[in-house]
Chains A and B, each alone.
Chain A
Amino acid sequence: MTTILKAAQSRRTFLRGAGVTMLLPWLESIPAWGGTAAQGRGTLLPKRLAVIFMANGINPNNWWAKGSGESMELGPSLEPLLPFRQRLNFIGGLFNEAATNVGIHPGQTGNLLSGARLTRGPEIRGGISFDQVLANRLGESSVQPSLVLGCEQPTTGYHETNFSMAYGSHISWASATSPVPMEVYPSLAFDSLFENRGAQRTRSILDRVMEQAADLRRQASTSDQKKLDEYLTSVREIERRIDRVRESANQAGEGTRPGQPGFTLQRPDNGLPQDIREHMRLMADILALAFQTNKTSVATLLLCRDISGMFYPFLPVTEAHHLLSHNDTSKEFTLVNQYYTGQLAYLAQRLQSMAEGDGTVLDNSCLLFMSNMWSGSRHDSTRVPVLTLGNLGGTLQSGRVLDYYDRPADTRRLCSLYLSLMDRMGVELPSFGDADERLAGI
Chain B
Amino acid sequence: MIASHQALAAVAVAVVFAATSSCARLPPSLASQTVPTAPRSANLDQRYVTDVQPLLKTYCHSCHGGSSPAARLDLTAFDTTGRVISAFDVWERLHGRLDRREMPPRSAAQPTDAERRTITDWFAALRAHEAERNAGDPGVVLARRLSNAEYNYTVQDLTGVDIAPTKAFPVDPANEAGFDNSGETLAISPALLTKYIDAARNVANHIVFQPHGFSFAPYEVLTETDRDRFVVNRIMDFYRRQRTDLAGYFFALWRYENRSALDLKGASLASIATAGGVSLPYLQRLQQLLHDRKGAFGPIAGMQRRWDELPAASTRPSEATVRAATEALRDYVIGYRKKLAWTFDVPRARPLHIASEITAMHVNRQEVLHRRRLNPHVLLAAETADPTAKGYDADLVVPSEPAARAAAVASLEKFCDVIPDAFLVTERTSPWLAKNQTGRLLSAGFHSAMGYFRDDGPLYELLLDDGGRRELDGLWRELDVISNAPARQLAGFVWFERTDTNFMLSPEFNHLRAEDLDLASDVKFGELRRLYEAKVAASGATAETRRMTQQYFDELGAAIRATAQARAAAEPPHLEHLVAFAERAYRRPIEAAERDAVLAFYRQLRQSGLGHEDAVRDTLASVLVSPHVLYRVDVVRTAAQSRIGDHAVAPLTSDSLANRLSYFLWSSMPDAELMARAAAGDLHRPEILRAQVRRMLRDGRVSRLATEFGANWLGVRRFEEYNSVDRERFPAFTNDLRRAFFEEPVRFLTALIRENRPVTDLLFGDYTYVNRPLASHYGMPQPDGDAERWVRVDKAGGYQRGGLLPMAAFLTQSSPGQRTSPVKRGYWVARNVLGQHIPAPPPDVPAIPSDEADLGSLTLAQTMARHRADPNCASCHATFDFFGLAFEGYGPVGERRERDLGGRTVDPATEFPDGVRRSGVAGILEYVRASRQQDFVDNLSRRLVSYGLGRGVIPSDRRLLDQMQAALRANGYRFSGLVETLVTSPQFLMKRVP
Chain A interface residues (CB < 8 Å from chain B)? 1, 3-4, 15, 19, 120-124, 151-160, 162, 164-166, 177-179, 181, 184-185, 191, 195-196, 201-202, 204-206, 208-209, 211-213, 216, 219-224, 226-228, 230-231, 233-235, 237-238, 241, 271-272, 274, 307-309, 311, 313, 318-323
Contact = CB atoms under 8 A, between A and B. Distances in A.
Given A157-B448, A227-B142, A234-B190, 7 more contacts: A15-B189, A178-B225, A205-B622, A223-B142, A228-B143, A228-B627, A228-B631
Contacts of A238: 190, 193-194, 197
Contacts of A321: 499
B618 interface: yes
A204 B618 contact: yes
8 contacts: A122-B232, A122-B439, A220-B143, A221-B993, A307-B499, A309-B499, A311-B510, A323-B502
Given A223-B140, A230-B187, A309 B222 contact: no
A262 B934 CA distance: 80
B226 to A, nearest CB: 6
A185 B495 CA distance: 17
A323 B497 CA distance: 11
Interface in B451-496: 451, 488, 491-492, 494-496
A152 B515 contact: yes
Contacts, number: 213
B625 A209 contact: yes
Nearest to B608: A196
Contacts of B449: 155, 157, 165
Nearest to A158: B440
Contacts of A313: 507, 510
Contact of B627 (A231, A233, A320): A231
A157 B492 contact: yes
Interface string B416-450: 00000000000001100100011111010011111
Given A178-B222, A196-B610, A234-B193, A121 B438 contact: yes
Contacts of B605: 201, 204
Given A157-B449, A209-B627, A309-B498, A234 B192 contact: yes
A122 B631 CA distance: 41
Contact of B505 (A154, A162, A311): A311
Nearest 8 pairs between A and B by C-beta? A121-B439, A224-B143, A157-B450, A309-B499, A309-B495, A237-B190, A234-B193, A309-B498
Nearest to A1: B10
Contacts of B143: 220, 223-224, 227-228
Given A235-B193, A272-B513, A224 B440 contact: no
A122 B511 CA distance: 33
B190 A15 contact: yes
A397 B10 CA distance: 68
A73 B147 CA distance: 64
Contacts of A204: 601, 604-605, 608, 618, 622
A182 B245 CA distance: 44
A19 B190 CA distance: 8
A212 B623 CA distance: 10
B297 interface: no
Contacts of A319: 502, 505
B652 interface: no
B397 to A, nearest CB: 41
B597 interface: yes
B271 interface: no
Nearest to B432: A160
Interface string B57-79: 00000000000000000000000
A4 B3 CA distance: 11
B694 interface: no
B237 to A, nearest CB: 13
A228 B407 CA distance: 85
Contacts of A195: 608-609
B806 to A, nearest CB: 41
A313 B994 CA distance: 80
Contact of B450 (A155, A191, A230): A155
Nearest to A120: B439
Contacts of B609: 191, 195-196
Contacts of B494: 309
A320 B499 contact: yes
A165 to B, nearest CB: 6
A314 B451 CA distance: 32
Contacts of A179: 223, 225
Contacts of A220: 143, 633
Contacts of A233: 190
B14 interface: yes
A181 B200 CA distance: 19
B448 A178 contact: no
A208 B193 CA distance: 14
A272 B194 contact: no
A228 B429 CA distance: 59
Nearest to B236: A122
Nearest to A238: B190
Nearest to B497: A309
Interface in B150-206: 183, 187-194, 197, 200
Contact of B515 (A160, A184, A223): A184
B14 to A, nearest CB: 7
Contacts of A322: 499-500
Interface string B13-31: 0100000000000000000
A155 B14 contact: no
Given A121-B439, A204-B605, A204-B618, A3 B190 contact: no
B220 A178 contact: yes
Contacts of A160: 430, 433, 437, 447-448
Contact of B183 (A123, A156, A162, A227): A227
A310 to B, nearest CB: 8
Given A216-B633, A219-B635, A156 B197 contact: no
B517 A272 contact: yes
A300 to B, nearest CB: 15
A122 B440 contact: yes
Contacts of B491: 153, 155
B495 A155 contact: yes
Contacts of B219: 177-178
Nearest to A208: B622
B626 A230 contact: no
Contacts of B429: 158
B172 to A, nearest CB: 14
B794 interface: no
A317 to B, nearest CB: 10
A3 B500 CA distance: 77
B337 interface: no
Interface in B500-524: 500, 502, 505, 507, 510-511, 513-518
Nearest to B14: A1
B621 interface: yes
Nearest to B442: A122
A304 B580 CA distance: 43
Contacts of A155: 449-450, 488, 491-492, 495
B225 A271 contact: no
Nearest to A166: B225
B7 interface: yes
A208 B430 CA distance: 52
A263 B499 CA distance: 37
A233 B188 CA distance: 9
Contacts of B610: 196, 201
B628 interface: yes
A307 B614 CA distance: 31
A158 B437 contact: yes
B505 A234 contact: no
B911 interface: no
Contacts of A159: 448
B716 to A, nearest CB: 30
B144 interface: yes
B142 to A, nearest CB: 5
B11 interface: yes
